[in-house]
Structures are given as structure tokens and as C-alpha cells.
């Protein structure tokens, strides 16, 4: 079908629609969120008629026991708990707050499985973590801040590592299956041992998954290099043939010379193009030598004496230099001296006949067969929608000839209009031309598989935070109302009024010193960072329930106390103390940035801040940091250490 026909135009419109990206979507760079979602969860799910408020409240340990024993993962978590209680004749129910949290988590987990699907049966192996996540959500306040808990990171990593897994991989997928089984079993032991280090489990799994990805990446690179070599070889054949055919079109030649040009000379031209490139002096020499050879073999026309003498002198010069040039160009025969001598001997014999003015039997030589210029050369503009895909993205492709495959785009060749895909093991799995890919997108047989803070994203989406814009709305509503110049920065937050202190679920713990980083899960408490989002699913349904986040945020702001601080009096005498791992919000650039304190170099008096992945974001001297704070361009985001850190600090305090 030619470009511009109605069928193609409609197909292109649909293709462009499903490849469209939304820059406002949340992505990994937005996490951890700057606020706990506790108040939003309670407002959204208690008001929606959740269970709770029962006169017989279920003890926490009993609730945790029911969560541990859930084996029917098709039921929502709260339903599974109540079903067990009913079967035991137990009239108790969780509190209203616990019910709201469990329903929120159930909705988030359901959306996680739908928006970020993992192939069965691997998805089933992960489902026991649904119970563990529920237990952590009602026992550890940090869980209410998406991206701030090791369970969030573990589930995010599980999805990212399993995005390309399929049972059809066989042995190539066994390693990942084993890693996931080990991580799930280790994490689930939390029910029996509350001191289980989920951070260590998440870190170990991420390291193993990274090692597997690196190995697969090396394999994929080999596939890319092989394909690039194949394409380059095709190009070399095409360019060599075009060069020789252009010369043959201008000149006739003896049949023996024609065989030479279409044989070893053609093979040598390909090697010259591959080795030196089309813009090299060697390739230019090859082209000139080809035309010089054919020109030297032409029968002299009836020319006047002077012109005939000039032509004869030219032939003498060619006969002297041409064999030397040809020897250097015959790369295909460079290891066969006798074959080179035979080629040069044929040319010299032919030249001898020319010099003796013996007529040569010249004929038109058939050109070397090559693909026509129009083969597969539809306008690139015809497939503009393919500009929206990028190397590294994962897809689920149903080509119709077998079961759907999960593959990663590893090479995009615009000149050849070809796409190369590899599987989870890095082995070439599929190759499509642009037209076929666009047709599959039009028929909705291709789905973009998204990754990156997947579970954390669904936790936020479950309360209506589904874009950077909605996150900004919430953050603006939660921002401190007092002017920046009235804030004070000090070592620890000020004591809260007695009634507010009783209402707070997370009392602020003792602060850490700067020079000893602590392994902890921060729960940052204001100012987000906005970043562009990744491409959305091709088959994404864009309609979403709208939520009045500003109204919800006002409720949340009314029950929260802005972070306190104490303004330094003199730069040289001011000693800044933040808890190690504290998150700070910086507003001195066009885009707000949130970073975690990782190192304090006391000798240089510098502070180093990193992002969630531990990548250095900025380094500030004490003077620079104080100036930013004085100008109201820094917010101290409170953090809450985990239970193990509390015990360690209390132990050290008692030893002192």
C-alpha cells in the first residue's frame, strides 16, 4: 500500500495515538514522596464506607496472624482477614484506620498487577508479599510514604527484574526464579521475626538482579554488533556494486576483464569499503583505479597524429602505474600472491594488445545485481510515530505466528528501517521492519511494558496522586504557611503542644550526628521534586477519576506541624546538625530538588547530598548551605528511623 492511501493514514493516526507519551506521569524520580499519605488514605477510604468501628476490636497480633495465614490471594486482603475471623467464629474486626489502610493497599496492589504485569507463574510466587505489605502498612508508619520503605523498593525491584521473564526462557530464566523465591521467603519470615532486615533483603536481591542484567546486556550487545556487522556487510556489497556498475555503464570491456571486475575486484572493493569507509582515500583510490582500468582498454578512435600520440603516451603511463595500484587494491587476494599475479598478468596482457594497436573484443558487461534504490525505502516520515520508542524499552509483542513474547528493543536502524529485539537473557528474539511494527501497534498487538518505582507509583495513584501536577497541588497545599525568614533551624524539632503530640502517630526520634551515615529508611516530610515521566503504555486508557487533592491536602495540613528550624547567628560559629539520611528540599533552581544527606566532610566542612539511588546530586560548603537556608531556599524534611535504629541509639545512650 502506497504512502498517503486512506488505510495507511488511519493506521498512522492510531499508531501515533498509542505511542503518545504523557510528561506529567509519575516516575521513579518523584520517590520517595515528600509526605506521608496517612491522612489522605483515611479520608478517602474511611469515607467510602470501609469496615471498622466495630465494638469488638481485633488485637494487632491476631490481625497479623490472619495476614500471615492468607492463602487465597484472589480475595482482597481485608476480605481474607474477615473470612478467617468468621470461620473461627471470631466477632472482632480491625479498627477503622486499619481497614482503610488495608483497602488502600489492596487497591494499590491490584493496580500494580494490572499496570505492571508480570508473567505467570512468576506473578504467583510474588503474591505472598501482598500479605507482608499489609502487615507492614499497619505496623510501620514509614510504609505510608511511597518509596520510603524497603518493601516498596523490594517490590519495585522485583517488577523491574521480571519485566522480561517468561516461562519459555527455560534455563535462562531459572536464575531469576531462584532469586525471587529466596527474596520472598526471606522477607516473609518477618511474620516470625520482626527484626528481619528487609533493607538487606532488598539490597541483596537488587545486586543479584543487576548482575543478571549486566550479563544479559553483554549478550544483547553481541547481538547488536552481529546485526550491525551484517548491515554493514550488506552496505559494502551495495556500494561496491554501485561503484563498479557505474563504471561499466560508461565503458565496454573484454569479457575476461568483466569477470575480473565482478569477481575478485568486487570482493576487494567490499573489503576496502568495510576497512576504510566510504569517505577514505583508499575507497577513492579504488573507484579511480576501476575507471582508469576500463578507460585504458578502449579501442582508440580515428584520431589525428597529435591526439593519437597523446593517447598513446597516456596508455604507456597507465600501463606502468596501474598494476601497482591494482596490487594494493586487491585485498581479497592479499594472502594469495599467485592469484594477484594472475590478475595483474591478465591486465598487462590486455594492455600489450592495446599498445600493439590490436583491436579488443569489447562488449557491454552485465551489471552486478543489487537491490533497487526503492526496495524498502518508504518515506521515513511515513513512520514518524516510531520516533516515540527508544532503545532499552520493553514490549509485549503478539506477532500472530506464536505466543506473545516479552522483548527489549536493543537496536533501532533508521536507515534500514529495522528494529532488533532481545529477550531477558539478551539473546536475539525478534526483528521487525518499521512497517510491520507500525501495523502491530495499529492492531494493538504491542504493549509497552513500563517499569521504575512501579509499586510506589501505584500506592500514590490509589489516593489520586497520578501525575506530577497532582503531586505539586498536594505539596503546595502542604507547604508551611509561615514566611521562610521566620523559620529557625536547630538540631532537633521543637516540642509540640501536648495535645498534638498525643495525636501524632510518629514521634520524632533522637537525631544522628553527621559524620556517621546510618542505614535507615527515611520518611521525608515536605517539598517534592518534579521530573519528566517515562513513556506510557501504548494501550493506556487515559480517563482517570479526578480527586480534589487541594481539599484533601488542607485536611492533611491542618493535622500536621511544619518542620521547625533555627536560624544561624554567625556562619563561622554556627554548627549545623541534621539526622544522617535526612531529606532536604532545595528551591534555588527552576526545578525543585529533594536530596538526602549522605556525608559531612568535617575537614573541608562540606555536605554531600544524594538521590534515592545514592547518586551524588550536589555538594555544598557550610557557608553555601547557610546562605540557602537564610534565603528560605531549603526545607528540612523530617525523617523517622526504623525500630532497629531506635534500639541502637537507646543502647548507646545507656552505655554513655
Name the phi and psi angles at 592, rounded to 5: -60, 150
Domain boundary among 431, 449, 467: 449
Q: Are residues 525 and 549 in the same domain?
A: yes
Q: Are residues 304 and 410 in the same domain?
A: no
Alpha-carbon span 212 to 200, nearest angstrom: 18
Identify the domain containing residue 344 by its residue range: 226-355
Which of 17-26, 264-273, 469-478, 618-627 has the weakest average pLDDT?
17-26
Q: Are residues 421 and 455 in the same domain?
A: no
pLDDT at 268 over 90: yes
584-595 pLDDT, tens digit each: 888 777 667 788
420 in any annotated domain: yes
432 in any annotated domain: yes
pLDDT at 599: 80
Mean pLDDT of the chain: 77
Q: Are residues 552 and 634 in the same domain?
A: yes
Please give the residue that has the higher pLDDT: either 511 or 468. Answer: 468
Type and span of the H or E element at 412: strand 405-413
pLDDT at 258: 93
Q: Are residues 302 and 382 in the same domain?
A: no
Q: Find, among 205, 55, 133, the residue nearest to 462 by Cα.
A: 133
351 in any annotated domain: yes
Q: Are residues 148 and 181 in the same domain?
A: yes
Q: Find, among 109, 115, 121, the residue nearest to 70 by Cα.
A: 109
Do residues 38 and 117 lie in contact, with contact meaning Cβ atoms separated by under 8 Å?
Answer: no
Alpha-carbon span 121 to 422, nearest angstrom: 21
pLDDT at 588: 79
H, E, C per residue of 102-117:
HHHHHHHHHHHHHHCC
Domain count along the chain: 4
Give 392's DSSP letter: T
640 in any annotated domain: yes
pLDDT at 392: 93
Question: Highest-confidence range of 277-281, 399-403, 633-637, by mean pLDDT?
Answer: 277-281
Q: Are residues 481 and 581 in the same domain?
A: yes
Domain boundary among 329, 355, 381: 355
338-354 pLDDT, tens digit each: 999 999 999 999 888 88
Buried b (16+ CB within 10 A) or exposed e, 333-357: beeeeeebeebbeebeebbeebeee
Confidence of residue 148 (pLDDT cuts 50, 70, 90): very high
40-80 pLDDT, tens digit each: 999 899 854 444 455 688 899 999 999 999 988 888 889 98
Task: For the chain, give the percent of residues with pLDDT over 90.
Answer: 43
pLDDT at 589: 75
Q: Are residues 125 and 173 in the same domain?
A: yes
Q: Are residues 496 and 403 in the same domain?
A: no
pLDDT at 369 over 80: yes
pLDDT at 3 over 80: no
Q: Are residues 387 and 290 in the same domain?
A: no
153 in any annotated domain: yes
- Which residue reads 476480605 in cell numbers? 79
Q: Are residues 439 and 455 in the same domain?
A: no
Q: Domain holding 428: CATH number?
A: 2.30.30.30
Domain boundary among 304, 321, 355: 355
596 in any annotated domain: yes
206 in any annotated domain: no
Q: Are residues 615 and 480 in the same domain?
A: yes
Alpha-carbon span 381 to 392, nearest angstrom: 23
Confidence of residue 575 (pLDDT cuts 50, 70, 90): low
82 in any annotated domain: yes
**Grid cell listed for 343:** 590478475
Amino acid at each position: 500500500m502506497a504512502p498517503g492511501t486512506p488505510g495507511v493514514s488511519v493506521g498512522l493516526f492510531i499508531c501515533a495515538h498509542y505511542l503518545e507519551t504523557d510528561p506529567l506521569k509519575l516516575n521513579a524520580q518523584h520517590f520517595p514522596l515528600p509526605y506521608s499519605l496517612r491522612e489522605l488514605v483515611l479520608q478517602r477510604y474511611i469515607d467510602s464506607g470501609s469496615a471498622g468501628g466495630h465494638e469488638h476490636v481485633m488485637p494487632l497480633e491476631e490481625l497479623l496472624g490472619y495476614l500471615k495465614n492468607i492463602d487465597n490471594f484472589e480475595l482482597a486482603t481485608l476480605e481474607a482477614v474477615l473470612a478467617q475471623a468468621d470461620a473461627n467464629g471470631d466477632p472482632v474486626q480491625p479498627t477503622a484506620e486499619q481497614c482503610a489502610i488495608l483497602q488502600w493497599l489492596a487497591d494499590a496492589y491490584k493496580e500494580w498487577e494490572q499496570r505492571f504485569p508480570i508473567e505467570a507463574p512468576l506473578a504467583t510466587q510474588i503474591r505472598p508479599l501482598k500479605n507482608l505489605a499489609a502487615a507492614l502498612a499497619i505496623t510501620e508508619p514509614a510504609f505510608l510514604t511511597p518509596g520510603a520503605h524497603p518493601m516498596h523498593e523490594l517490590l519495585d525491584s522485583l517488577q523491574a527484574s521480571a519485566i522480561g521473564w517468561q516461562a519459555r526462557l527455560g534455563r535462562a530464566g531459572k536464575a531469576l526464579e531462584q532469586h525471587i523465591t529466596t527474596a520472598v521467603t526471606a522477607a516473609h519470615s518477618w511474620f516470625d521475626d520482626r527484626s528481619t532486615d528487609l533493607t538487606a533483603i532488598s539490597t541483596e536481591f537488587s545486586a543479584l538482579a543487576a548482575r543478571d542484567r549486566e550479563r544479559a546486556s553483554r549478550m544483547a550487545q553481541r547481538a547488536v554488533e552481529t546485526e550491525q556487522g551484517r548491515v554493514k556487510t550488506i552496505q559494502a556489497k551495495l556500494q561496491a556494486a554501485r561503484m563498479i556498475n557505474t563504471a561499466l555503464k560508461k565503458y565496454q570491456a573484454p569479457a575476461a576483464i568483466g569477470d575480473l571486475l565482478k569477481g575478485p575486484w568486487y570482493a576487494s572493493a567490499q573489503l576496502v569499503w568495510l576497512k576504510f569507509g566510504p569517505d577514505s582515500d583508499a575507497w577513492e583510490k579504488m573507484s579511480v583505479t576501476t575507471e582508469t582500468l576500463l578507460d585504458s582498454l578502449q579501442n582508440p578512435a580515428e584520431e589525428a597524429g597529435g591526439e593519437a600520440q597523446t593517447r598513446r603516451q597516456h596508455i604507456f603511463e597507465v600501463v606502468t602505474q596501474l598494476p601497482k595500484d591494482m596490487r594494493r587494491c586487491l585485498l581479497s587476494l592479499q594472502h594469495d600472491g599467485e592469484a594477484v599475479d594472475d590478475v595483474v598478468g591478465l591486465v598487462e596482457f590486455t594492455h600489450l594488445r592495446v599498445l600493439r594497436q590490436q583491436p579488443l573484443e569489447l562488449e557491454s558487461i552485465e551489471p552486478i545485481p543489487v537491490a533497487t534504490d526503492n526496495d524498502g525505502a518508504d518515506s521515513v516520515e511515513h513512520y514518524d510515530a516510531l520516533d516515540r520508542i527508544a532503545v532499552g524499552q520493553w514490549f509485549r509483542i503478539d506477532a500472530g505466528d506464536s505466543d506473545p513474547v516479552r522483548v527489549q528493543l536493543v537496536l533501532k536502524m533508521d536507515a534500514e528501517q529495522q528494529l532488533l529485539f532481545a529477550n531477558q537473557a539478551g539473546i536475539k528474539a525478534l526483528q521487525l521492519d518499521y512497517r510491520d511494527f507500525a501495523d502491530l501497534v495499529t492492531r494493538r498487538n504491542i504493549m509497552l511494558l513500563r517499569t521504575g518505582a512501579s509499586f510506589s507509583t501505584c500506592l500514590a495513584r490509589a489516593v489520586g496522586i497520578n501525575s506530577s501536577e497532582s503531586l505539586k497541588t498536594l505539596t503546595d497545599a502542604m507547604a508551611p504557611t509561615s514566611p521562610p525568614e521566620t523559620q529557625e533551624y536547630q538540631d532537633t524539632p521543637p516540642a509540640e503542644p501536648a495535645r498534638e503530640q498525643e495525636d501524632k502517630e510518629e514521634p520524632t526520634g533522637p537525631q544522628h550526628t553527621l559524620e556517621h551515615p546510618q542505614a535507615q529508611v527515611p520518611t521525608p516530610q515536605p517539598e517534592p521534586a518534579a521530573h519528566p515521566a517515562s513513556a506510557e503504555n501504548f494501550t493506556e486508557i487515559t480517563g482517570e477519576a479526578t480527586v480534589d487533592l487541594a481539599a484533601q491536602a488542607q485536611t492533611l495540613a491542618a493535622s500536621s506541624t511544619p518542620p521547625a528550624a533555627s536560624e544561624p547567628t554567625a556562619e563561622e560559629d554556627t554548627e549545623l546538625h541534621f539526622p544522617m539520611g535526612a531529606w532536604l528540599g532545595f528551591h534555588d533552581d527552576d526545578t525543585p530538588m529533594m536530596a538526602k544527606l549522605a556525608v559531612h566532610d568535617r575537614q573541608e566542612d562540606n555536605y554531600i547530598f544524594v538521590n534515592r539511588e545514592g547518586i551524588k546530586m550536589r555538594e555544598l560548603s557550610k557557608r553555601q548551605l547557610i546562605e540557602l537556608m537564610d534565603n528560605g531556599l531549603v526545607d528540612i524534611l523530617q525523617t523517622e528511623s526504623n525500630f532497629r535504629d531506635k534500639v541502637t541509639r537507646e543502647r548507646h545512650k545507656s552505655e554513655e
